[in-house]
Chains A and B, each alone.
Chain A
Amino acid sequence: MLNASTSDTPLVKMVDIHKQFGGIHAVEGVSVDLYPGEVVGVLGHNGAGKSCLMRILSGAMSQTSGEILVNDSPATLNSPQDARSYGIETIYQTLALANHLDAPANLFMGRELKTRFGNLDEPRMLTEATEALRQLNPNFKNLRDPVSRLSGGQRQVIAIARAIYFQAKVLIMDEPTAALGPSETAMVSDLILRLKSEGIGIFLISHDMHDVFELCDRVMVMNKGKNVGAFRINDVNKDDILSLIIKGTLPEGWRPRGGDQ
């Protein structure tokens, strides 16, 4: 899988990204790339700059300097709309849902389906949303309720459905399982593997080491805004990653751990 994918051009390549807030360097010279059908874990403790880096890629924030290449051509991502036009979809940790609106309205927020006369096409949005949500969770029934009344899992499903409904090529998932119970977490893991097999590239921000080792092909660890290590998942173990996250360096005398086996 890894060898096959590296021969392609990367879906996304971020080169030497810097982000400054006043005098604070949130992201300093980070480069990362993502190939089709690959899951890259972006790790680091809170404030390490991983969310900031991903927000730059999703168009919610713009970089101070550095370049983003989508399919090897430079891309300017000034707004979430720009990112979406390149097929980059994001599932935010906060889910970015409008609590007073129902599931279809949230799924199509900003990209409402319209009839010939430019009116909102409610029936079609409802059918499409029903289908998209049932694929992820067959028990999803109360579609017309405001999403504030739904469970954490259902809300997560809406946020995920919103990203994949529009045929994402690159998916950014920010802590997708943080608010979920065990069965829902398993559902999200299955989904990630399914999307991966369909050739979608996924950036996974996670704190859960179990998820990371189960799902990721590669990991990148950030510490104080810098990229302190990018590895194939087979080359590292939990302790290596924790050391990178906490200290920013690998343990003494580290050698790649059986990546070639």
Chain B
Amino acid sequence: MSDDAQKSRLKFLPTGSSLHKLSALLTLALLIVVFSFTSSAFFSVNNGLTVLLQTSVIGLLAIGMTMVIITGGIDLSVGSVLALAGVVAGLLIKAGLPVFPAMVLGTFAGAICGFVNGLVVTKMRITPFVTTLGMMLVARGIALQLTGAAPISRLGEAFGTLGNGSFFRVVEMQANGFPKVVFPGIPYPAVLLLIMALLGAFLLKKRQIGRHIFSVGSSEEAARLSGVNVDRTKIWAYTASGGLAGLAGMVLMSRLVTVQPNEGVMYELDAIAASVIGGASLMGGVGSISGSMIGAFIIGVLRNGLNMAGTSAFIQMIIIGVVVIGAVYIDQIRNRN
């Protein structure tokens, strides 16, 4: 009886993390309202889909980043790993492999980078910050060395499908013979992001590995003494982050229909910002995929809205920096109460 009463009470009262998520969601809504006033073109179906497309790369990175951050680590290498994965896929296509297996292998290359990160962090006991900082340079170096720093182009039309294709695209032929896009369609990257986010949330919430990720981040010693395989859990998280960075690389390079070995610089910072804005704690043990997705969209909408309003890229950097610090500050105030 008291059990039921307690359950219903808990359902109505938002707990700490859902409170944070709620405030992040309100921030997102507020941003959309404000930008709708500053630019008439902002609040439209077309622009909404553009934001969706632009955010999908950061969103994919943020899923893996969130898992690593929950273990109490950080992955600074995702931007470089994204570029290396793209280079691997591009070179394989140039070597004659069809697009799909090349993209799978490119993603796999990203996962291998993540796996190496995990091994170095757990077996060599080097802090995640230093390990992934090293991997950031190594992966970028390999990507530039393999390509001679030149973009790989002419990869064929099929390479652009993942980044530029969409579901439910409605095109109408007009009387004058020109096609008119009635509905631009839901971009493949957005659908991919949704699938990966759901998968990530499922793994974190419903599977043992997710529970272990939270345990390790909350107290590594307690997890170890309780029989959790701490090393395996961490390696898993870094591998997932690397694999998702590889996948994000496929999406980004496909959108450009060109492999750019110097793409993705500083993307790790956007991914970290998305996780932190979404309520993940850099101390470990706290975070959620849904929160990080809201965080990714806050950054995406902020970028897009500021662009539409004609704000310079430099001012954008300042604003996003201030937003990240603000989000962490609000989180700290909440935790103190």
Contacts and interface: CB of A to CB of B under 8 A. Distances in A.
Interface string A97-138: 111110001000111101000111000000000100000000
B66 interface: no
Contact of A109 (B2, B3, B206, B215): B215
Interface stretch (B109-117, B220-228, B238-246, B320-328): B220-228
A172 to B, nearest CB: 11
B214 A98 contact: yes
B182 interface: no
Contact of A99 (B218, B224, B226): B218
Contacts of B286: 100
A10 interface: no
Contacts of B38: none
Contacts of A15: none
A210 B215 CA distance: 36
Contact of B225 (A80, A100, A111, A112): A80
Given A119-B206, A141-B2, A110 B219 contact: no
Contacts of B212: 110
B228 A94 contact: no
Nearest to B225: A96
A238 B31 CA distance: 71
A119 B226 contact: no
A141 B2 CA distance: 9
B285 interface: yes
A141 B3 CA distance: 8
Nearest to A142: B6
B10 A109 contact: no
A81 B205 CA distance: 24
* Nearest 7 interchain pairs by C-beta: A110-B227, A98-B218, A100-B285, A110-B226, A96-B222, A109-B226, A100-B218
Given A58-B225, A94-B222, A98-B223, 11 more contacts: A60-B224, A84-B227, A90-B225, A98-B215, A98-B218, A100-B217, A110-B212, A119-B206, A120-B205, A120-B207, A120-B211
A141 B6 contact: yes
Interface SS, A side: loop
B221 A120 contact: no
Interface centre among B10, B212, B215 (most CB of A within 10 A): B215
Contacts of A80: 224-227
Interface in A60-109: 60, 79-81, 84, 90, 92, 94-101, 105, 109
B311 interface: no
Interface of A: 58, 60, 79-81, 84, 90, 92, 94-101, 105, 109-112, 114, 118-120, 130, 141-142, 144, 162
Interface centre among A90, A109, A119, A130 (most CB of B within 10 A): A109
Contact of A100 (B2, B6, B207, B214): B214
A192 B208 CA distance: 32
Contacts of B285: 98-101
Interface size on B, as a range, is 20 to 34
A109 B225 CA distance: 10
Interface of B: 2-3, 6, 10, 205-208, 210-212, 214-215, 217-219, 221-228, 285-286
B206 A120 contact: yes
Contacts of A101: 211, 214-215, 218, 285
24 contacts: A60-B225, A80-B225, A80-B226, A80-B227, A81-B227, A90-B225, A94-B221, A95-B222, A96-B221, A96-B225, A96-B226, A97-B219, A98-B215, A101-B214, A105-B211, A105-B214, A109-B222, A109-B226, A109-B228, A110-B212, A110-B226, A110-B228, A120-B207, A120-B210
A120 B206 CA distance: 5
Contacts of A144: 10
B93 to A, nearest CB: 37
A60 to B, nearest CB: 6
A79 B214 contact: no
Contacts of B2: 141
B6 A79 contact: no
Contacts of A100: 214, 217-218, 285-286
A98 B10 contact: no
B133 to A, nearest CB: 27
A4 to B, nearest CB: 34
A18 to B, nearest CB: 23
A114 B208 contact: yes
A90 B221 CA distance: 14
Given A79-B227, A111-B227, A141-B2, A97 B222 contact: yes
A142 B13 CA distance: 14
A28 to B, nearest CB: 25
Nearest to B2: A141
A95 B221 CA distance: 10
B223 to A, nearest CB: 6
B6 A92 contact: no
B219 A98 contact: yes
A184 B13 CA distance: 31
B210 to A, nearest CB: 8
